[in-house]
């Protein structure tokens, strides 16, 4: 469904068969040329749906000349390749996001690393196979694209009368980027800040030193400094209470981190054991996988803070509490 937020600026809400049910793309128009921010999910009929939706407002999908991506999660980027092939659009994203995408597309090395990473966290091989199956389904959805149009942090882009700044906000995903329209005081936030839920954080299976929570919280601070009034998120409705939302998200993470710490004592536990304790309602393999990822994110942070200890036995990581604050 497309709606005109203001003259030449549109929100397009696209369906998807996941928990969040829909994803938002945004569209700028200048004369006949169009720039699309995120693309929606590449499911059957998605391109035709987008074309029809745009036609309802007199917009021609073939006029999309630029596609800007906030990050490379499937629901935001998987139509970029389709659009590039059909309309000749140039694709813009951060170099870090593109590298993440290239990693993701290399099936063999990703499957190998998935097995190694999650077996170390105490996950059983049958569940790891289910995760790999899920990965392969998601990978098949992404239509490959090419680009060397890498966004630079804080640079300004012009699109006709529109001007916007590139704001790097890594955390939710590697190379995540927001777009700030200073003159209009609005922010296209991707999945960096969402109205109803705290955006999901996950470990980087290729980089053990990556601290998703610390990185994400730093990126919240970056956004807090911008004079943004209205936030247009990747999921859900626009909102204006940015400061309040930032506080709620910070509190959420602090609370969850303390809860994970509360599960630990002197008895060594794997991340998988801890995640099963905190997510008893998770039934499906994918839910269990998400709970495990969340647990790993907080364990990484607690370890970096010196509150817990990590030891490897027979290629499995075990965690214990080493002090009484967390």
Running DSSP on this structure, what letter comes out for residue 143?
Answer: P
Which string of x and - marks every residue 209-238 that binds Zn ion (by CB under 5 A)? ------------------------------
CB 201 within 8 A of CB 297: yes
Least Cβ distance, residue 169 to Zn ion (angstroms): 12
Within 285-304, the residues that bind Zn ion by CB under 5 A are none
# chain residues binding Zn ion, by CB under 5 A: 2
Among 35, 39, 68, 73, binds Zn ion (CB under 5 A): 73
Sheet containing 9-15, strands listed edge to edge, beginning at the edge strand earlier in sequence: 2-6, 9-15, 22-30, 33-37, 64-68, 90-94, 149-151
Least Cβ distance, residue 325 to Zn ion (angstroms): 32
Least Cβ distance, residue 82 to Zn ion (angstroms): 19
Give all strands (DSSP E) within the chain, no chain letters.
2-6, 9-15, 22-30, 33-37, 64-68, 90-94, 149-151, 156-159, 162-168, 177-181, 186-190, 230-233, 308-313, 316-321
Please, which residues have CB within 8 angstroms of residue 6's CB and are 6 or more apart in sequence?
A: none
Nearer to Zn ion (CB atom), residue 81 or residue 190: 190
Pairing of strands 156-159, 316-321: unpaired
Stretch that binds Zn ion, among 72-80, 101-109, 205-213, 236-244 (CB under 5 A): 72-80
Least Cβ distance, residue 104 to Zn ion (angstroms): 13
CB 118 within 8 A of CB 292: yes
Nearer to Zn ion (CB atom), residue 29 or residue 69: 69
Instruction: Give the C-alpha separation, 223 to 209, whole Å.
Output: 24
Stretch that binds Zn ion, among 51-59, 65-73, 134-142, 277-285 (CB under 5 A): 65-73
Instruction: Give the C-alpha separation, 283 to 296, whole Å.
Output: 19
Least Cβ distance, residue 293 to Zn ion (angstroms): 13
Nearer to Zn ion (CB atom), residue 249 or residue 308: 249
Instruction: Give the C-alpha separation, 316 to 306, whole Å.
Output: 20
Which string of x and - marks every residue 238-277 that binds Zn ion (by CB under 5 A)? ----------------------------------------
Within 179-198, the residues that bind Zn ion by CB under 5 A are 191
Least Cβ distance, residue 311 to Zn ion (angstroms): 33
Least Cβ distance, residue 172 to Zn ion (angstroms): 6
**Residue 308 bridge partners (DSSP):** 321
Please, which residues have CB within 8 angstroms of residue 33's CB and are 6 or more apart in sequence?
A: 63, 65, 159, 160
Least Cβ distance, residue 73 to Zn ion (angstroms): 3
Stretch that binds Zn ion, among 56-64, 68-76, 100-108, 303-311 (CB under 5 A): 68-76
Stretch that binds Zn ion, among 66-74, 205-213, 224-232, 274-282 (CB under 5 A): 66-74
Within 6-25, the residues that bind Zn ion by CB under 5 A are none
Helix axes 285-304, 271-278, angle to 10 degrees: 120
Q: In Å, what is the CA distance from 88 to each residue of 26, 82, 104, 147?
A: 19, 9, 24, 12
Nearer to Zn ion (CB atom), residue 73 or residue 256: 73
Q: Which residues bind Zn ion (CB under 5 A)?
A: 73, 191
């Amino acid at each position: 469904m497309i709606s005109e937020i203001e003259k030449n600026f549109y929100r397009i809400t696209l369906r998807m068969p996941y928990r969040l049910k829909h994803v938002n793309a945004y569209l700028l128009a200048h004369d006949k040329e169009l720039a699309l921010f995120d693309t929606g999910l590449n499911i059957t009929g998605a391109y035709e749906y987008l074309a029809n939706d745009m036609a309802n407002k007199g917009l021609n999908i073939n006029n999309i000349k630029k596609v800007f991506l906030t990050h490379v999660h499937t629901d935001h980027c998987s139509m970029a390749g389709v659009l590039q092939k059909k309309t000749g659009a140039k694709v813009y994203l951060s170099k870090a996001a593109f590298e993440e995408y290239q990693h993701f597309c290399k099936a063999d090395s990703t499957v190998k690393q998935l097995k190694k990473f999650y077996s170390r966290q105490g996950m059983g091989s049958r569940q790891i196979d289910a995760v790999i199956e899920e990965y392969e389904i998601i990978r098949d959805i992404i239509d490959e694209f090419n680009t060397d149009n890498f966004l630079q942090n804080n640079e300004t882009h012009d699109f006709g009368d529109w001007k916007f700044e590139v704001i790097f906000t890594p955390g939710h995903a590697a190379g995540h980027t927001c777009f700030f329209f200073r003159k209009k005081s609005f922010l296209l936030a991707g999945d960096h800040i969402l109205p109803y839920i705290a955006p999901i954080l996950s470990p980087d299976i290729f980089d053990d030193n990556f601290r998703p929570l610390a990185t994400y919280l730093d990126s919240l601070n970056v956004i807090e400094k911008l004079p943004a009034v209205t936030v247009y998120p990747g999921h859900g409705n626009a909102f204006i209470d940015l400061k309040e939302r930032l506080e709620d998200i910070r509190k959420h993470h602090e609370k969850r981190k303390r809860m994970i710490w509360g599960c630990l004592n002197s008895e060594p536990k794997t991340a998988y054991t801890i995640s099963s304790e905190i997510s008893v309602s998770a039934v499906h393999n994918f839910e269990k996988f998400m709970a495990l990822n969340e647990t790993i994110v907080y364990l990484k942070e607690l370890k970096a803070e010196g509150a817990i200890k990590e030891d490897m036995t027979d290629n499995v990581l075990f965690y214990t509490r080493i002090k009484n604050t967390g």
